[in-house]
Structure 1
Amino acid sequence: MTLIEQQPQVEQSRRPVRIANCSGAQYDPGRQMQKQASLGEVDFLTGDWLAENNLAQEAAAMSSGTGEGFKIKTWDALRQSMDVIAEKRIKVVVNGGGLNPKALAWRCQELINKNNYNLKVAFVSGDDRLSHVSASLKDHGSLPQHFHDDVKNAGLAKTKEARSDLKDSDILASNAYLGARAIVKALKNGADITICGRVADASPVVAASWWWHGWSDQDYNRLAGALIAGHLVECSAYVTGSNFSGFHRFDLDTFVDVGFPIVEVTEDGTCIITKHEGTNGMVTEDTVRCQLLYEIQGSSYLNSDVKAILDDVEVYEVGKDRVKVSGVVGRPPPPTTKLAIFYAGGFEAQILVNAAGYATSKKFTLFEKQIRIALSKASLLESFTELEFQVSPRFSIGMPQPNPASQLQSTTYCRVYMQSMSREPIVALSQIFDDEIMQHYSGWHMSADLRTMAPKSFYAYYPAIMSQDDLDEAAHLLDQNGSIADSFRSGHPSKYEVLEKRPSYDSANPLPLDLFGPTTAMRLGNLVLGRSGDKGPNINCGLFVHHPDTWEWFRSFMTLNTFTGLIGADWKDDYHIERVEFPKIYAVHFVIYGILGRGVSSSKLLDNRGKGFADYIRDKHVYIPDKFPTWSDVN
């Protein structure tokens, strides 16, 4: 049978759609959905439970018989919330279906049947490309085109290629990033709950807005506004006070159990970020700007349905805990979409050893020398794909305080990180560590026992691209028996725009820095807020100030060369940086290509998702004009 496509009520389309997000990571508990549904009126509940590595985790769990392919926390959220969802007729769109959205949809249908809820369930298919990628690797001996090749960026740093001996059987999962089209099909055909797998993080919000307002797929400005609305709330509490670099200026109780965000998307695509009254946290221009700058790559934000241009984006407060975002421009989507490929990367381990302050650098140098010589004698040194002693001078993880008041102030640690294609070299290194343990440097001690050196399997991530026209994306509605009642193919975008070279530039007309008067050396963070995060092997970092006069100094000061210098000893010549400006929010944004290696779980960095990078940059001392109001240093 074919269901009649449903549209929102006329009175609904005259007001903004109110969308509450209830998850930004696989760990967010189910009670957050129940709270978002219960604490006030909302039209939609959305949730993002998938990070780039989650699908590999689900594949491994399914293979071992310990998982069903979907995120358990998503099911917990739906189970806790179904009563209020049914009572209030709230629509739900979530991506927690992971590798098996059909199974999670069936779980929902069972619960609906048990309680006689008047709800229809759908799931989205088309993102799973495992068989295609495995077949291509078997037949042609190579993976699809690398994602960053499509950027066509002259001088772009090369990301690490997949290992040369990769076999088709090594591929754990491969999923395309889908847009909103199939979700819109589900909504038009009566779905109350739509379970997705690897749709792009913002796609549920795009779909809810698209359906609610009855847009066409070429309403690019509106779609782009909804895309940024989705981006702002996809990380749950990150826009309502969590991960906020300006938190120290407020009562810390404000940030305990913060409320999750709500976005109101208007018919023209502009939006207001807010939250339920009476919940902790805050929605301010600063929290919104921090999240806006998070995990973007330059001034173009890509999605399968639209490309959002952010050059003229504006953020301004319109009430308590109400911040409006406008100025986003839309253009046709690219002809390709991102394809996440995961394969067995081998095994990894780490160990931490401590030293008290006197002669610390020489202690760690001796420790590394002992281990490397022993590995070399055992012909094991070449068996490691990564072996790094993260110690001074280049990798110093903290420095002893001068004239320390306590032993903790005097103590730092060395992190030994290792990867190998098999368990044996790591097990052998553990034995060497035992053999050498009584030959340690003065004052050697450890934080834990040697079980932290046990080899643990990890998944390598390879970001690729594929043609959108090769996708076979569809929505499927279930009947009461859990069978598919009807299916609706989403089709493909009616128009594409080939990706152009990504912009990167210093300010066109920088002002002389001495124009701003006398300066004092202090932490950059005394003046500047920001946020950073990962996109595969890259770190993005957005920094901003608050006033037009401060902006003129900041844009002139924070050049590509200045930023490279601030990276310091972590910089390598094979990295590449892009820089763009967002003048209406007084922000400069950087992307550092290649700094995370393979990224995700296989990055050897301690901060393997780049979350602390912006605060590292903000901790650097620079010369700031005395006439600018600054915050005091905080410890």
Structure 2
Amino acid sequence: MGSQLNGTANASERGTRPVRIANCSGGQMEPGWQMRKQASLGPVDFITGDWLAENNLAQEQAAIAAGTGEGFKKNAWEALQLSMDVIAEKRIKVIIDGGGLNPQALAEHCQVLADSKGYSLTCAWVSGDNMVGHVKQTLRDTGALPSTFQDINTSAHKSKKELGFNEDDVLACNAYIGARGIVKGLEAGADIIICGRVADASPVIGAAWWWYGWSDTDYDRLAGAFLAGHLIECSAYASGSNFSGFHRFPLSKFVDSGFPIAEIDADGTCVITKHPGTNGMVTEETVKCQLLYEIQGNMYLNSDVTAYLDDARIEQVGEDRVRLSGIRGRPPPPTTKLAIYYKGGFESQNLSNAAGYATRKKYKLYETQIRARMAEEGLADKFTILDFQVVGSDKKNPHRQLECTTYFRIFAQAATPEPLSALKLLLADETMQHFSGLHWAQDLRTADPKSFYVYYPCIVSQDEIQEAVHLLAKTDKSGGKPAVAQTLTCTRPPKYEPIPVRESYDTKNPIDLASLGPTVDIPLGNIALGRSGDKGSNINCGLFVNQPELWDWFRTIMTIQKMKDLIGGDWREDEYRIERVEFPHIRAVHFVIYGILGRGVSSSTLLDNRGKGFTDYVRTKHIPVPEQFLQWTWEEDDGRD
């Protein structure tokens, strides 16, 4: 792809210095004023925002059907309304995925607003990700998904019967597309580009690609920008939020953390920073945590490039300035991820509490009573999922009642709401039949049936995607709907590489642990930091140590079997599997636990249905640490008096 200057204020500097790309959103609830802060608090060339997660598009379609939404994220529109004056004044370019299912409508709203205020801004939107019409028609005509769509885990092609849903159940179907439409739009002079389901890092890739005029075969550079985008896509996750080492610092440090900025160099390396004077921190630890978040192992896939992380290096180069380098790129895969969302039925949660003495026996009694009544009422086989869970552990000899209070969670799903309503009534009938000391929270609305959506991950050939960018014309003072000034179609990547078998291994040259001398059992979290998250039905978990002296011991002890041991009673040998790789330059071991989230975020039975708490769960487990390493540990601080 070529490039051309478009007359913006930063045109004379373009390509001569690192491009500064600020992120203002990592999720659909992010408030609009974060965009204004990123635009106002210091110099930036681009602002990107990620408002989409794997369930958001289904929610938007449901809102459209209910007449309560237009298909785009309301908070993204709020952000643009609050920031448009600063964007226009400072000539900042904006690229966001907040368009959801209707990026055209959000782009049109932006153009009307800009023109009504007299701002010289051109708005555009990217199309090509939405494939729901194709899916529904093919299911209707053939009884199966399109032949090019395959299950992401098994590569199988499935019929409606095997899938468990039909065309009427499908809510949305979107491919994760790359940065090609974004680059085309910037080349044509767009100032604000609204995307639907582009990959999370694609706005950052597109900004850097255009800024330097890279070729679409500059794989190392594109891969570096890809990881820069990964580091800043989750708002403050790189600058203090969701940080597993927070307890070692004053808590006030993490109130209203500043959002991150990526300064990307011409070679694709980057420095992660934030605006001076904002709270939070950008350190090697916070950046390592985010690098390890929701990745796929050592090979990270995008529609424009495959990034290899084996040689990733992270280095503190100044206060709140951390450099990432060592990322290598290869041609992208011939396929990209495709998310199908369908109606899963209805679900409910019935919650009750117990305090103190004989807690576990109380919950066993309660479950026995409930199951007996369900059998009497003929409800036992009416649920697709019925799971009885004990949440929490009661403290022995407690100082306060809450220290020994736990709760019982009955998680249920069914094809229709009636069994869930019947379960709620059954529990009400048993109100006076309960164990000693049962009590409930005041709000019982979780027991009411509510619809839920299932995320079904597929892959689709990139050559099937018809990506384009559409630039809008100026509107007149009447504020009517703007016309399309031009539509630019995008070519597909010039070369693909098949996805190789993912690496998975225990360390290749383990040391003799006995040679390290006596050990002390302490929490893993006293010596290692990390982060985890969801990848569809899977959890990823990355853990690292700081000191080089610890690396040989850490990589040796943190085996696949050790992770199974740390998972403990939650491990299911016949259902789950684990992949493991190492990142030696950042002293990290990374795991992917396949299948542990069941059907994924939107319909997982787990309380931690996004896997965010998984790493801190395994970090609280005790492991044998050599006494010679205790000088590099810290004490757990749980904040108790």
Give the TM-score normalised by structure 1. 0.96
- Distance (whole Å) between structure 2 residues aligned to residue 73 and residue 87 of structure 1: 22
Q: Secondary structure at the match of 2:14?
A: helix
Partner in structure 1 of residue 452 of structure 2 = 458
Query: 1:145 and 2:150 equivalent?
Result: yes
Q: Deviations over 1:157-181 (max 9, x none)?
A: xx9x987542201100000001000
Q: Which moved more, 1:535-544 or 1:374-383?
A: 374-383
| Matching residue's letter, 1:424 | E
Q: Deviations over 1:187-207 (max 9, x none)?
A: 000000000000000000000
Residue 516 (structure 1) shift: 1.5
- Distance (whole Å) between structure 1 residues aligned to residue 543 and residue 305 of structure 2: 26
| Matching residue's letter, 2:546 | H
- Distance (whole Å) between structure 2 residues aligned to residue 600 and residue 633 of structure 1: 30
Paired residues of 2:181 and 2:490 also in contact (CA < 8 A): yes
Q: Deviations over 1:271-328 (max 9, x none)?
A: 0000000000000000000000000011011000000000000000000000000000
Query: 1:631 and 2:634 equivalent?
Result: yes
Residue 632 (structure 1) shift: 1.1
Partner in structure 1 of residue 61 of structure 2 = 59
Partner in structure 1 of residue 623 of structure 2 = 622
Partner in structure 2 of residue 24 of structure 1 = 26
- Distance (whole Å) between structure 1 residues aligned to residue 413 and residue 161 of structure 2: 15
| Equivalent of 2:411 in 389, 407, 417 | 417
- Distance (whole Å) between structure 2 residues aligned to residue 180 and residue 376 of structure 1: 55
- Distance (whole Å) between structure 1 residues aligned to residue 536 and residue 451 of structure 2: 19
Paired residues of 1:162 and 1:462 also in contact (CA < 8 A): no
| Matching residue's letter, 1:631 | W
Q: Deviations over 1:487-527 (max 9, x none)?
A: 00111000000001110000001001112221111100000
- Distance (whole Å) between structure 2 residues aligned to residue 178 and residue 625 of structure 1: 47
Query: 1:442 and 2:442 equivalent?
Result: no
Q: Deviations over 1:7-59 (max 9, x none)?
A: 68453211110000000001111111101001000000100000110000000
Partner in structure 2 of residue 474 of structure 1 = 468
Q: Deviations over 1:79-134 (max 9, x none)?
A: 11110111111111000000000000010011111111111111000010001111
- Distance (whole Å) between structure 2 residues aligned to residue 587 and residue 451 of structure 1: 43
- Distance (whole Å) between structure 2 residues aligned to residue 130 and residue 113 of structure 1: 33
Q: Write the mapping of 1:88-167 to structure 2, written as runs, cut at 5 A.
A: 88-143=90-145, 144-150=149-155, 164-167=163-166
| Matching residue's letter, 2:526 | N
Paired residues of 2:3 and 2:213 also in contact (CA < 8 A): no
Partner in structure 1 of residue 589 of structure 2 = 588
Q: Deviations over 1:382-426 (max 9, x none)?
A: 1101111103xxxxx222111111211221111110000100000
- Distance (whole Å) between structure 1 residues aligned to residue 31 and residue 601 of structure 2: 22
Q: Write the mapping of 1:48-87 to structure 2, written as runs, cut at 5 A.
A: 48-87=50-89
Partner in structure 1 of residue 478 of structure 2 = none
| Matching residue's letter, 2:517 | G
Q: Secondary structure at the match of 1:497?
A: coil
Paired residues of 1:202 and 1:234 also in contact (CA < 8 A): yes
Paired residues of 2:577 and 2:594 also in contact (CA < 8 A): yes
Q: Deviations over 1:511-562 (max 9, x none)?
A: 0111222111110000000000001100000000012220110000000001
Q: Secondary structure at the match of 2:451?
A: strand
- Distance (whole Å) between structure 2 residues aligned to residue 60 and residue 310 of structure 1: 38
Paired residues of 2:5 and 2:11 also in contact (CA < 8 A): no
- Distance (whole Å) between structure 1 residues aligned to residue 618 and residue 19 of structure 2: 38
Query: 1:375 and 2:380 equivalent?
Result: no
Q: Secondary structure at the match of 1:433?
A: helix
| Matching residue's letter, 2:592 | V
Q: What are structure 1's unaligned runs of at least 5 residues?
A: 153-158, 392-396
- Distance (whole Å) between structure 1 residues aligned to residue 223 and residue 265 of structure 2: 12
| Alpha-carbon distance change, 381 to 122 in structure 1, aligned in 2, over 3 angstroms | same
Partner in structure 2 of residue 550 of structure 1 = 550
Partner in structure 2 of residue 39 of structure 1 = 41
- Distance (whole Å) between structure 2 residues aligned to residue 29 and residue 204 of structure 1: 19
- Distance (whole Å) between structure 2 residues aligned to residue 25 and residue 65 of structure 1: 23
Residue 149 (structure 1) shift: 2.8
- Distance (whole Å) between structure 1 residues aligned to residue 163 and residue 201 of structure 2: 34
Paired residues of 1:526 and 1:631 also in contact (CA < 8 A): yes
Residue 353 (structure 1) shift: 0.8
- Distance (whole Å) between structure 1 residues aligned to residue 347 and residue 162 of structure 2: 16
Paired residues of 1:6 and 1:187 also in contact (CA < 8 A): no
- Distance (whole Å) between structure 2 residues aligned to residue 14 and residue 549 of structure 1: 40
- Distance (whole Å) between structure 2 residues aligned to residue 568 and residue 430 of structure 1: 32
Paired residues of 2:26 and 2:233 also in contact (CA < 8 A): yes
Q: What are structure 2's unaligned runs of at least 5 residues?
A: 476-481
Query: 1:406 and 2:400 equivalent?
Result: yes
Q: Secondary structure at the match of 1:93?
A: strand
Query: 1:500 and 2:500 equivalent?
Result: yes
- Distance (whole Å) between structure 1 residues aligned to residue 394 and residue 452 of structure 2: 33
Paired residues of 1:530 and 1:544 also in contact (CA < 8 A): yes
Q: Secondary structure at the match of 1:187?
A: helix
Residue 620 (structure 1) shift: 0.2
Q: Secondary structure at the match of 1:92?
A: strand
Residue 357 (structure 1) shift: 1.7
Q: Write the mapping of 1:534-545 to structure 2, written as runs, cut at 5 A.
A: 534-545=534-545
Q: Write the mapping of 1:197-596 to structure 2, written as runs, cut at 5 A.
A: 197-391=196-390, 397-481=391-475, 482-573=482-573, 574-596=575-597
Question: What is the percent sequence identity of the aligned residues?
Answer: 61
Give the TM-score normalised by structure 2. 0.95
Paired residues of 1:6 and 1:189 also in contact (CA < 8 A): no
Q: Secondary structure at the match of 2:623?
A: strand
Residue 378 (structure 1) shift: 1.6
Q: Which moved more, 1:370-379 or 1:79-88?
A: 370-379
Q: Which moved more, 1:378-387 or 1:554-563?
A: 378-387
Q: Which runs of 4+ in 1 moved over 4 A?
A: 161-165
Q: Secondary structure at the match of 1:148?
A: coil
Q: Secondary structure at the match of 1:194?
A: strand
| Matching residue's letter, 1:308 | A
Q: Secondary structure at the match of 1:318?
A: strand
